[in-house]
């Protein structure tokens, strides 16, 4: 791990202690940062939103491998993974989930 990656990991862990939420996938618990996922390019909603998409981001190697279609439990609510953003250049994995 490079010095820059080490600093980013420490910053991510500091954020987890302040605003981390408990999640689980495949029976494996993990801590993650939760935020509202921005709409995809060209995606828009007319009227009331039926479902909310959230971003669940966790440190690489400290959470399970999640595939599209699998369920992630976020604060006791099951959400379906609709996109996985796993860029090896980042220290974290981001899973976009559709909340009921």
- Looking at the predicted structure, is the pLDDT value of residue 6 above 70? yes
- Looking at the predicted structure, is the pLDDT value of residue 24 above 70? yes
Fold classification of 3-99 is Thrombin, subunit H (2.40.10)
pLDDT mean across residues, the chain = 87
State CA 89 to chain mean position distance: 16
- 40 vs 20: which has the higher pLDDT: 20
Which pTM was predicted?
0.81
Average pLDDT value for residue range 44-52:
59
Query: Which pLDDT score, from 0 to 100, does residue 15 have?
Result: 95
Q: Can you give the residue ranges of every domain in the chain? A: 3-99
CA angle 45, 46, 51 (to 5 degrees): 50
């Amino acid at each position: 791990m490079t010095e820059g990656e080490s600093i980013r990991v420490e910053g991510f862990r500091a954020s987890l202690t302040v605003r981390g939420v408990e999640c689980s996938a495949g029976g494996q618990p993990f801590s993650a940062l939760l935020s509202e996922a921005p709409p995809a390019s060209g995606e828009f909603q007319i009227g009331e939103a039926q479902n909310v998409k959230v971003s669940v981001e966790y440190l690489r190697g400290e959470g399970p491998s999640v595939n599209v279609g699998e369920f992630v439990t976020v604060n006791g609510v099951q959400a379906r993974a609709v996109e996985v953003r796993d860029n090896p250049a980042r220290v974290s994995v981001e899973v976009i989930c559709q909340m009921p």
